[in-house]
Structure 1
Amino acid sequence: MSNNGTRPTKGKAKAASSAAGRTQVREATATISHGTQTVTGRVSLTLSKFGEVFGQAASAMRKGFRWVSETVTKVGLIAIIFVLLWVPLGVLLDWPEFAFLGAVSAIILAVAVPFLIGGNEYEIGFDLPDDHLIAGEHTKAPISVTNTSNHLQLPGVLEVQIGGGVEEFSIPILRAGDTKLIDYAIPAQRRGVLKLGPITTVRTDPIATLRRENKLLEEREIFVHPQTRQLPRTREGILRDLEGDPTTSIVDSDMSFHSVREYVVGDNPKHIHWKLTAKIGQAGKFMLRQYEESRRSKMIVILAANTSEYRANSDEYEIAVSAAGSLGLSAIRDQRKISVLASDEIPALARGRMFAIKEFKVQTKRRLLDDLCLVNASEQAMGLKDVCRLAAAKHADVSLAIIVVGSTVTPRLMQQIKMFLPSNIGVLFVVADSSPDAEPKFAEVNGMKIFTIQEIQDLPGLMGRFIR
């Protein structure tokens, strides 16, 4: 009985021992897991801090490199290389010459630093009368530099970028509130769009070792208009409106009575001349009024734009653009209905299958001149024959066509070009000829009026022939 009583006691002891062992294992596992989490957290925190420090260091390095690239000039870069290389080499190799040059370079860099101290607290005033210029003319554009700070500003340099070049002006020492006025004139430019700016102030030392820039005015576009001349009022070939010159075309309905004819089926009965019909007194025979057609006058100016239509290496195209602009401005001034056209560029692969013309804005004089700043002659531009054909189809109400060409367009070619225009309109050719033996003249060939001009100043005198 005693044996049976002791067995359960041993079993319970073993069970308790086994449970305690499992508890210790769980506690050890939990301790290890907690320790692993702690180590992992510390590693993550360390990596996070390292990444933050690395990012700050990289940002500082980028700023440093940017400062060096923006501030240190080529001369300054050479001086830094001398300091970093020649001084150690001079000391190690016992070459005093190298050490001396390195020391001089260090002194130059040290002396250059004070020239960059202080801000560029300037206010720039750029007095350009308008955002357009006239080709070939100088334009005054004074620049004022004002010290807006409360302290003295050291000397500096003002840089004005114009086109592909840079012009520099010195800025003296300016006390608080002082202004320096620079008499600046924009040099004569060719027709086109001129990039003006930015305007930048520069701080640098006398040797230009270090340099600091401050952009004050951004870049702006200036339209350089072609030269134009005021022309007399054109009347030749222009069909006036209701009270103006009628055409010779006879129509069945208009305001200018011309004659009568016999009524035929399909005519409008309201134009029957009843008094004349009654006077004739023939049954079934009616007389119908006929009129001379009067139509609104419309002028088109066509500018040749293919390089083959102008003498190579000459100013003929620029003269032609000026002539087209002068004619367009004259029509706008006289409140005439006008269109100014030019041939557009056609890709070589699409030539013969694709046709396009360029039509300039003529709502105002300014819009026309701005558009003429952008046009250029091209080998890919469509020929005049196709241009005239498209122009006649698009502007059926045209009464006068003025075609501006270069000296390579012969009278025979002009005659062929005229065939693509309506036969009942006036045609005027303006030929820009820059050859030395050319002279202003007027000619009439097979009903075509031809003006030859050597420069734009010749056009007003020749156009005077159209005054009456």
Structure 2
Amino acid sequence: MTTASVGLAWRRRVWSLRDRAVDLVGPRTAPVLAAVRPWTRSVTGLGWVVLGGGLLALVVGRDQGWTELTVVGLTFLVVTILALAWTLGRAAYDADIVLDRDRVSVGEKAFGAVTVRNRAGRMLLPARMELPVGSGVASFDLPALAKDADHEVLFSVPTRQRGVIAIGPVRSVRGDPLGLLRRMREWTGAHTLYVHPATVPIEASTKGFLKDIEGVTTHDLASSDVAFHALREYVQGDDLRTVHWRTTARVGRLMVRQFEETRRSHLLLILSVAEADYADADEFEVAVSSVASMALQALREERQVSVVAGRGRIRFATGAALLDQLAPLSTDGRAKPLRDLAADAVALVPSASMAALVTGSLPTPRVLRAAHLAVPAQVAAFAVRCVTDGQCTRRRISTLTVIDVPTLADLPRAVRSIR
């Protein structure tokens, strides 16, 4: 028998003994563990120190005959028991969170109310309540409530930054004055508040949103469309409705019309989230707001618009859904460079007729040119550089039009300069 087989046999034996011990002990200890677990979760860090120190002092003091240490241990244990008695009791509440709106723009305030109702069937003593708001916690005192009485607390949420804020759940907190125990119970679920990026309207006359009625003419030929191209000789399978009878009578053979395939205006917005493309967080905020503003303008004009940011295409059916998707967006140190992002974007949206590259101030002209080369030649493209410490300018890098946008308010004027 090899060493490996002996080791495997011993492991199987240990596993068998372990499973047997779990079968014997588990059912007996499960009720005890279920009853104790909520209390162990209620013990704070200071509480564990006092409890552990008391037990250790009591054991060492009795073992060594050290009376003073034994008294310290007993004192710690008595304090722990008193803290436990202080937090005993059971409350029953109905709580509800109501927000005046679930979506706000950055800088606006969201208002809400928390309503707590006594459903215990008896008077409840005053309690401490907490309401988590994002990464912070708001607390308020709940007064004594008679049977079926309720109490309402109004609150506001400042929205200085774009993002998604979780509000709630409302929870009651019972604790002792020394902070050894802290019992919490949740009474509601969490609500989500979307803080949308700021946007500005963009005039419909800008070239960035093509105004053609028939679509953008391509060089792809089709047997039926709007843009007439030329006449050619009839081949089997052609639609007889495209026969040009006047020319047919003149040349003596069937001639049919040939059209250039047209493509409906489709704006593709490519937003870089690479951390290396932005000098600071303000530049990224201007970039996100610029994408949101151009996309909303296209939707208002009933144009096709697609947005690619970060690792993929953002799916949305309405403007509000798009802003929801943009709200939690952040820069990523591992994001693809602008050229690779542009290549992925045109592969995801092959029907685009115009593309906008939106980035920060750090990409060099060579980087912008490389990203432009990744866009097919038949797709009109321009770049938006968000430069918070610069000026609103327009320039050309080879055939690519580049506009610098210091603030969101400069975006309409900058886009109007693309003629």
TM, length-normalised to structure 2: 0.74
Find the partner of 1:433 among 387, 390, 395. Answer: 387
Aligned residues of 1:240 and 1:296 also touching (Cα < 8 A): no
Q: Deviations over 1:56-86 (max 9, x none)?
A: 9745753564354244445555665687677
The 8 Å contact of residues 197 and 289 in structure 2, kept in 1 or not, is answered as yes
How do residues 153-302 of structure 1 correspond to structure 2 at under 5 angstroms?
Answer: 153-188=124-159, 190-219=161-190, 222-233=193-204, 235-236=206-207, 238-240=209-211, 243-244=213-214, 247=217, 253=223, 256=226, 263=232, 271=242, 273-275=244-246, 294-302=262-270
Equivalent of residue 320 in structure 1, options 274, 278, 287: 287
Contact 2:313–2:345 at 8 Å: present in 1 too? no
**The structure with more strand, counted as a fraction of residues:** 2
Cα deviation for residue 324 of structure 1 reads 1.7
Asked if 1:152 is matched to 2:106, the reply is no
Q: 1:74 to 1:260 in 2, by over 3 A?
A: closer
**Residue matched to 2:306:** 339
Aligned to 2:351: 397
Name the SS for the 1:198 alignment partner.
Answer: coil
Structure 2: unaligned runs, 5 residues or longer:
1-23
After superposition, where does 1:105-144 map in structure 2 within 5 Å? 112=83, 115-132=86-103, 134-135=105-106, 137-144=108-115
Tell me, in whole angstroms, the C-alpha distance in 2 between the residues paired with 1:85 and 1:132. 54
SS of residue in 2 equivalent to 1:439:
coil
Q: In the alignment, does 2:384 pair up with 1:384?
A: no
Q: Deviations over 1:212-241 (max 9, x none)?
A: 322212345554443333333365155556
Output the CA distance in 2 between the equivalents of 1:79 and 1:134. Answer: 48
CA contact (8 A) 1:254 1:291 kept: yes
Moved more, 180-189 or 424-433: 180-189
CA contact (8 A) 1:343 1:383 kept: no
List per-residue Cα deviations over 1:276-303 (Å, max 9, x = no partner). 576xx6x668877565654321111111
Structure 2 partner of 1:408: 362
Matches within 5 A, 1:51-130: 58=29, 62=33, 65-66=36-37, 68-76=39-47, 99=71, 112=83, 115-130=86-101
CA distance, structure 2, for counterparts of residue 151 and residue 420 of structure 1: 71
- Cα separation, partners in 2 of 1:463 and 1:57, compared to 1, 3 Å: same
Q: CA deviation at 1:361?
A: 0.7
Change (3 A) 1:212 1:385: closer
**Is the CA contact 2:128–2:172 (under 8 Å) kept in the aligned structure 1?**
yes
**Cα contact 1:339–1:359 (8 A) shared by 2:** yes
Residue in structure 1 matched with residue 403 of structure 2 by the alignment: 451
CA distance in 2, matches of 1:110, 1:419: 74
Q: Structure 1 stretch 316-325 or stretch 370-379: which is displaced more? A: 370-379
* Residue type at the aligned position of 2:184: E
CA separation of 1:415/1:167 partners in 2, compared to 1, >3 Å: closer, same or farther?
same
Secondary structure of 1:127's aligned partner: strand
Change (3 A) 1:154 1:419: same
Is contact 1:234–1:463 with CA below 8 Å preserved after alignment? Answer: no
Shift of the 104–319 alpha-carbon distance from structure 1 to 2, 3 Å rule, reads: same
Larger Rg: 1
CA-CA distance at 1:260 after TM superposition: 5.6
Q: Structure 1 residues 396, 284: CA separation in 2 closer, same or farther (over 3 Å shift)?
A: farther
Asked whether the 8 Å contact 1:418–1:427 carries over to 2, the reply is yes
Letter of the 2:290 partner, please give it.
A
Q: Please state how far the C-alpha of 1:330 moved relative to its aligned partner.
A: 2.2
Deviations 1:198-218 (A, max 9, x none): 321012233334433222123
Percent of pairs with identical residues: 26
Q: Counterpart of 1:180 in 2: which secondary structure?
A: strand
Give structure 1 stretches of 5+ with no counterpart: 1-52, 345-357
Task: Check the 8 A contact 1:118/1:153 in 2, yes or no.
Answer: no
Aligned residue for 1:275, secondary structure, equals: helix
Q: Which amino acid aligns with 1:323?
A: S
Partner of 1:362: 316
